[in-house]
Amino acid sequence: MNNRTLTIFNSVVSLMLVIAVIIIFLLQKPSNISTKSSLSAEDSISLINTKLYNKTGSFGNLKVVYINTDTLWKEYEFVKITLKKLEREQASLQSTYESRTKKFEKDYNDYLVAGKAGSLTLQQQQTREEELTKQQTDIKNLEDEITQKLVVRKQTLNNEINDSILSFINRYRLANGYDMILQYAYLNAVLSATPELDVTEDVVAKLNKEYKKNKK
């Protein structure tokens, strides 16, 4: 029975670590949306402009801007609310799990006390052990269920955020007559760019305005 209890307690710790990792991953931006740049926009000329110049001989009429998606992810209200929503769901699942493990601990301790007092028949001991074994199995299944549920939920919420951002950015590009909007990301589409091409602040403001309007 001691090994059974140790297994359950280890499972509790394991699940709490899994939940924490899932929450941390959601707090981070998906790699296809943004990664942090270590280069300053003021340090060098825009790589995209250099490529356009080398290809066409002039900038022509192309209108290219970029968005700092680190800032976008941090300031977008939908992201903030989504994270709070996931944290509440995580807390609820964690509470359910801890309640089940505490009940197991109590039932196990009651079994030990009864066993030491000699108040259980052999049949009663076997029945109690079978019940405790079933509780252990149920708790392990609950652990797997919670882990899977959080992983799926995290992916679903990330997809909702990504779809919301990309849909708005496409409409923003068309409304402003831009040919291309790039993300400012380390070793990605834009390595460095002049600040005048940065439309992040405008995008964040309008994206949040649209989000608040749609919430009503």
Q: Residue 119 class from Cβ within 10 Å (0-12 exposed, 13-18 middle, 19+ buried)?
A: exposed
Q: Yes or no: say if 12 and 20 are a contact pair by the CB < 8 Å rule.
A: no
CA 10 to CA 148: how far, in whole Å?
A: 18
Cα–Cα distances in angstroms (integers) from residue 11 to residues 83, 111, 139, in the given order: 25, 21, 9
Q: Yes or no: say if 180 and 62 are a contact pair by the CB < 8 Å rule.
A: yes
> Whole-model pTM above 0.75?
no
Q: Can you list the positions of beta strands (E) in the chain?
A: 64-67, 180-183
Q: Rg of the Cα trace of the chain?
A: 27
> Mind giving me the DSSP string for 160-178?
HHHHHHHHHHHHHHHHHT-
The string of pLDDT tens digits covering residues 34-58 is: 433 333 333 333 333 434 433 322 3
| Placement of tokens 């955020």 in the chain | 161
Across residues 148-175, what is the average pLDDT? 92
Q: Yes or no: say if 8 and 101 are a contact pair by the CB < 8 Å rule.
A: yes
Across residues 180-193, what is the average pLDDT? 69
The string of pLDDT tens digits covering residues 91-125 is: 999 999 999 999 999 999 999 999 888 888 999 99
